């Protein structure tokens, strides 16, 4: 029977462990992010901006596709529900409603699903978080344009060089990582930390 540490052999028949390689890659991506002082400072800045948005009566909207949609939903439920400690709910909404998505995709095309949602719900001063591991998702690009026209503050969480969205948001991160999973892990870590910063700024 294996004891403590019996799984930590690091290699299998001379080949690096899949788990160790994956965790090492994740560690390297986080190390690269931490080494970028501007990216780290941007987390504090977006936390302050989100606190100011809530203080002014605004709200947060968030959208993404696939795993990024799940991250957007995760982010928003920690604002409306709770993050770590009990506090008042904070207004946030992720575009994950299947009625809206399927209706809009059927009638206007999938590229329009987030744009129409932003136009319906966005107000000047609201913050729109746009999640795309490539920065090239057409429906996210169109949502970015709509948010700008509506006077919303746009926050881009991107990867792989930033794609078509690079430089189009008021705040953005183009995080390190070669694959979507590594990029999404950093996106979620950034979002968690933004919440922590905003709560501190709000005195919650």
pLDDT tens, 82-121? 999 999 999 999 999 999 999 999 999 999 999 999 999 9
Within a domain: 182: yes
The mean per-residue pLDDT over the stretch 9-16 comes to 61
**What are the pLDDT digits (tens) for 22-69?**
999 999 999 999 999 999 999 999 999 999 999 999 999 999 999 999
Within a domain: 2: no
Confidence of residue 15 (pLDDT cuts 50, 70, 90): confident
Domains held by the chain: number: 1
Measured distance CA(193)–CA(202) in Å, rounded: 14
Residue 12 is predicted with a pLDDT of: 53
Within a domain: 91: yes
Within a domain: 197: yes
**What are the pLDDT digits (tens) for 149-176?**
999 999 999 999 999 999 999 999 999 9
- The domain containing residue 173 runs over which residues? 44-202
CB atoms within 10 A of CB 165: 23
5 pLDDT higher than 70: no
List the beta strands (DSSP E) in 53-152.
60-63, 92-94, 127-132
Of how many residues is the chain composed? Answer: 204
- Residue 43, Cα to own-chain centre: how many angstroms? 12
Residue 1 is predicted with a pLDDT of: 46
């Amino acid at each position: 029977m294996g004891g403590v540490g019996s799984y930590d052999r690091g290699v299998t028949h001379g080949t690096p462990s899949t788990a160790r390689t994956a965790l090492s890659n994740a560690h390297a991506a986080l190390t690269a992010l931490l080494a970028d002082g501007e990216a780290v400072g941007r987390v504090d800045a977006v936390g302050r901006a989100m606190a100011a948005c809530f203080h002014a009566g605004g709200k947060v909207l968030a959208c993404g596709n696939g795993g990024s949609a799940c991250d957007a939903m995760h982010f928003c439920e920690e604002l409306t529900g709770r993050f770590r400690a009990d506090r008042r709910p904070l207004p946030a909404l992720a575009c994950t409603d299947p009625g809206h998505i399927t209706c809009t995709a059927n009638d206007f095309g999938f590229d329009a699903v987030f744009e129409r949602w932003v136009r319906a719900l966005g107000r000047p001063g609201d913050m729109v978080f746009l999640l795309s591991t490539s920065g090239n998702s057409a429906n996210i690009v169109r949502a970015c344009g709509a948010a700008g026209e509506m006077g919303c503050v746009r926050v881009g969480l991107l990867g792989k060089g930033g794609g078509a969205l690079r430089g189009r948001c008021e705040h953005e991160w183009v995080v390190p990582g070669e694959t979507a999973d590594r990029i999404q892990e950093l996106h979620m870590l950034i979002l968690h930390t933004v919440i922590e910063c905003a709560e501190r700024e709000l005195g919650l």
